[in-house]
């Protein structure tokens, strides 16, 4: 599974790239203040659920959540 590393990206860049990557799931683009709802939508995709990707609760920023997700997916993919 591919996931973009959020380091050095703005929310707009990250959200648009991930929405394109998972276009069949109709995530779409949301503004940064709605990142939590968007992250919950991404977590609703079966692969993410099975991989143990955390939902947005417990994370203060989208960057910290996205870095955690990327780290988990890099281990799962090996």
In tens digits, the chain (78 residues) has pLDDT values of: 567 889 999 999 999 999 998 888 888 999 999 999 999 888 887 667 777 778 899 999 999 999 988 887 776 544
Task: Could you list the beta-strand ranges (E) of 1-78.
Answer: none
Q: Nearest-CA neighbor of 57 among 72, 37, 75, 31?
A: 37
How many Cβ atoms are within 10 Å of 15's Cβ, its own excluded?
26
Query: What is the Cα–Cα distance from 33 to 73, expressed in whole angstroms?
Result: 25
* Residue 10 pLDDT: 97
């Amino acid at each position: 599974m591919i996931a973009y590393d959020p380091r050095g990206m703005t929310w707009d860049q990250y959200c648009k790239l991930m929405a394109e990557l998972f276009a069949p799931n109709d995530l779409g683009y949301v503004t940064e203040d709605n990142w939590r709802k968007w992250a919950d939508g991404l977590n609703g995709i079966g692969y993410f659920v099975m991989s143990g990707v955390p939902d947005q609760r417990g994370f203060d920023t989208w960057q910290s959540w996205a870095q955690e997700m990327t780290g988990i997916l890099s281990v799962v993919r090996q």
